[in-house]
Amino acid sequence: MLMMVSFACFSLELEKVVVFSPDFSTRVEVVDISKLQLIEDGWITKEESPKTQYQSPLDVEFYKIDFFSDSSSMNGRWLYSPSGLIKILSKAPQKEYRIKDAQIFNQALGL
């Protein structure tokens, strides 16, 4: 009996992530596939953060994260607080999001 089995192929959208500390010194470069997968998994859980109304508290220190991806939703430089708050770096006001499981996201980023 011949059985044909189909396996779904899953490919990462992320190629690399570079995390800069709040003062812009390079902190970590993430290229490990398992960590990139955790970052993508965390990214999927982000939700718009109505609490901040698109204006971050002034006392929050943000890491700068460069996502290198083929996905337009991730690619670019983002501001990130280890509390899970994330937004695209821009002069114009931007929506803010919150990563649901910030602890795992932080570990994958090396924070």
Inside any domain, residue 4: no
Residue 90: CATH number of its domain = 3.30.1490
The parent domain of residue 71 ranges over: 14-109
Inside any domain, residue 3: no
Inside any domain, residue 89: yes
DSSP 38-78: HHHHHHHT-EE-TTTTT---TTPPPEEEEEEES-TTT-EEE
For each successive 10 residues of the chain (111 residues), what is the average pLDDT?
40 85 87 92 88 56 89 84 91 89 93 89
pTM of the model as a whole: 0.78
Strand 47-48: give its sheet, edge to edge.
26-30, 14-20, 63-69, 76-80, 85-88, 97-98, 47-48
- Residue 86 β-bridge partners: 80, 97
pLDDT at 99: 93
Inside any domain, residue 38: yes
Number of domains in the chain: 1
pLDDT at 24: 85
pLDDT at 105: 93
Inside any domain, residue 31: yes
pLDDT at 70: 77
